[in-house]
Chain A
């Protein structure tokens, strides 16, 4: 008899399943949310609100808008109606975050409050919001660090030269006049580490904000942002480790480890703040993943952060985001959000010394088949940590190198729009016009803009199609010297090739490590006619239709 009650309860529970909704993907409804959860409440309109852009925006933001012909009176920047916020406050708590761009407030609600709010006339939608933001460092924060020793000299040299940034230095380009917003988990040690002394001496830190604690001090918690900033603008004893040592900075702390399920709103608030404060470039070495989303939702439209990143791009900001470190995860693998947004310059990581995709670096395409990542950079870097130097790995540290590259480039071409700059960076990359989902267009090269010899690629191979195979004859016999002076090749020569279908979509892609070769045969037996084989070798790309 004593077992009857638990047994009955168990049987009742078992019978619940068949009547529950069967779906592979969970719905967005919040009906099952019994406890308090995080919600966005979207309003219907902004009618009658007053907005003075000269009062709201920093002078630099006004300049950017005028320079790129962007409207100062974009309704997206109008404030949320105070009246709506007051009415919300009467029913629930004070909103944690107010978003002008989305005309929404972020709240912690229980199910019944959410339902009550949705009934209000001025509420357009109530949507669950909680998610987790993950810094895009491999194994962050406990793996991937090591003290810097003499064995790292080659890494350091490669880090400084692999984007041919000597061309920037020769021309005195250091990002001066460009304002970069860095979103990260914390900037512990930035104020005290010698690598950043120049930023304070020259008043290059324009503003800081901790979006969790609502205060200016961002030099707490994690040193992830410190290492990221180091890769953008750090100066070590051996010289500058980041290219944009002359840029101005906005530092935003948007990621909180202790509160891992409430960070989306901080990223959104930070992007509006960065826009208001006149950021030209946003570097975000963060990404949202499985805690809230499925890989098939990485389409650049589903997540609010992807949509916010797109709005930022529309306002003339170049948004640079790490591709994510999910490449090793068989159940995810692809780009994280907001790196999935079309207008975000997504950066993958390369392994040292192979200079091929690091295994952890997330790959494309996006869930809706778009090309991502856009470019790649070295994923293992020497960076200033809280007190010392460390080697650290992750797409987190590839992204800031491209950010710094973009700052220097923008300084040189100030009339370029953000999307012109985006495309110029892609064009300058080592594989362009070739593209694959592991490396994007390759590593951006400053030499592309200043050395005419780079701009025109000379043929390095010939293709011919015969007897169900494509023959590739290399024009230069490859004989490798492991002690090559060219640090960017690390003693390897790679041939990239891919098979595209009739619509131009990549079906397969490969990279071959050539070892003393002058001729290759690729067997295409079984490939249907109409498909295209595209080959890239030593800066030259050519294709053949089967």
Chain B
């Protein structure tokens, strides 16, 4: 019993003797990674983008509602610096593109049926390569730049969504998937004008949005919008 009391006393003293917490710990021997940075050899960052369809459709019957036809994009970008002026890189992204089809008597995409509202939604996983030209002197900083590149994307999910007001006053919302007319892949050129985090972007889609067998007129090929690079400054 006496031993137990002594042991408890000892443990109590021991615990109070070493009550402490490390609030600052710095090891200066840890080498800082100098090859990674906004204006260093390698850099990666994420970005978000919002693009709007612009320009006319290729043929009549494929008119869209501009402003509402837009794409939201989230991506991860790699940049390899070759000099203060030239860099190149690649990126991976996921994108949701919504094409709001204008409803009128001459409409042909994706069919001739008139609805109150209709949109085609493409969910895409994409990749791109680009060449960057920077302007002006800068430190470890993205700076001002122009990018020219090419992109490709896989349409892993496409749906057609329609809204109709029925005669009995009810609203009908239909959603169709696994259609046979969307093309499996999309590719095109892109160009960007960047000011640090803020980027103006334009895309030109070379590929057709619909498969050849569907024989549908093409929706507008140009899109333009803004990207926000998620890097610290």
Binding site for B on A (CB under 8 A): 3, 6, 9-10, 13-14, 16-18, 20-24, 26-28, 30, 32-35, 37, 128, 130-131, 289-297, 329, 331-332, 354, 356-357, 363, 365, 436-438, 494-495, 505-521
Instruction: Assess the A290–B21 pair: CB atoms within 8 A.
Output: no
A474 to chain B minimum Cβ distance, whole angstroms, is: 10
0/1 interface trace, chain B 111-155, chain A, CB 8 Å (1 if under)? 000000000000000000001010111111100000011100000
Interface size class of B (residues with CB under 8 A): 35 or more
Instruction: Assess the B28–A23 pair: CB atoms within 8 A.
Output: no
Say whether, besides A9-B148, A17-B88, A22-B83, A517 and B139 are in contact (CB < 8 Å): no
A128 to B21, CA, bound (A): 49
Residues of B within 8 A of A513 (CB): 20-23
Residues of A within 8 A of B41 (CB): 24
Instruction: Assess the B140–A331 pair: CB atoms within 8 A.
Output: yes
Apart from A10-B150, A26-B137, 17 more pairs, CB < 8 Å: A14-B88, A20-B86, A21-B82, A23-B84, A37-B137, A130-B136, A291-B141, A294-B37, A437-B28, A505-B28, A508-B28, A509-B25, A510-B26, A511-B22, A517-B19, A517-B20, A519-B18
Say whether, besides A6-B189, A494-B23, A332 and B131 are in contact (CB < 8 Å): no
Offer 29 A-B interface pairs, CB within 8 angstroms, sorted by A: A13-B131, A17-B88, A20-B86, A22-B82, A23-B84, A24-B35, A33-B136, A33-B137, A290-B141, A292-B137, A294-B139, A329-B232, A331-B37, A332-B140, A365-B28, A438-B24, A507-B28, A509-B28, A510-B22, A510-B24, A511-B22, A513-B21, A515-B19, A515-B20, A517-B16, A517-B17, A518-B17, A520-B18, A521-B18
A437 to chain B minimum Cβ distance, whole angstroms, is: 7
A128 to B139, CA, bound (A): 12
- Does B34 touch A at the CB level, under 8 Å? yes
How many A-B residue pairs have C-beta atoms within 8 angstroms? Tell me.
Answer: 150
Instruction: Assess the A516–B19 pair: CB atoms within 8 A.
Output: yes
Instruction: Assess the A10–B149 pair: CB atoms within 8 A.
Output: yes
Considering only CB atoms, which chain B residue lies closest to A515 in the complex?
A: B19
A20 to B134, CA, bound (A): 13
Instruction: Assess the B135–A34 pair: CB atoms within 8 A.
Output: yes
A128 to B138, CA, bound (A): 10
- Does B38 touch A at the CB level, under 8 Å? yes
Considering only CB atoms, which chain A residue lies closest to B86 in the complex?
A: A20
0/1 interface trace, chain B 15-51, chain A, CB 8 Å (1 if under)? 0111111111111110010111111110000000000
8 Å CB contact of B20 from A24, A297, A436, A514? A514
Instruction: Assess the A290–B131 pair: CB atoms within 8 A.
Output: no
A513 to B39, CA, bound (A): 39
8 Å CB contact of A356 from B24, B148, B233? B24
Q: Which of B18, B32, B140, B204 has the most CB of A within 10 A?
A: B140
A486 to B139, CA, bound (A): 45
Instruction: Assess the B83–A23 pair: CB atoms within 8 A.
Output: yes
Residues of B within 8 A of A509 (CB): 24-26, 28
Considering only CB atoms, which chain B residue lies closest to A369 in the complex?
A: B28
A518 to B20, CA, bound (A): 10
Chain B residues 187-223 with CB under 8 Å of chain A are 189, 204, 206
- Does B85 touch A at the CB level, under 8 Å? yes
Residues of A within 8 A of B206 (CB): 3
Say whether, besides A23-B83, A518-B17, A508 and B26 are in contact (CB < 8 Å): yes
Say whether, besides A331-B232, A508-B29, A519-B18, A27 and B84 are in contact (CB < 8 Å): yes
Say whether, besides A20-B83, A331-B232, A517-B18, A438 and B138 are in contact (CB < 8 Å): no
A495 to chain B minimum Cβ distance, whole angstroms, is: 8
Instruction: Assess the A14–B131 pair: CB atoms within 8 A.
Output: yes
Residues of B within 8 A of A17 (CB): 82, 86-88, 131
Considering only CB atoms, which chain B residue lies closest to A364 in the complex?
A: B28
8 Å CB contact of A438 from B26, B27, B34, B86? B26
8 Å CB contact of B148 from A13, A289, A354, A506? A13
When A and B form their complex, which 7 residue pairs have the shortest distance between CB atoms, in order from nearest?
Answer: A26-B84, A511-B24, A20-B83, A293-B139, A13-B131, A515-B19, A20-B86
Residues of A within 8 A of B22 (CB): 510-513
Considering only CB atoms, which chain B residue lies closest to A495 in the complex?
A: B20
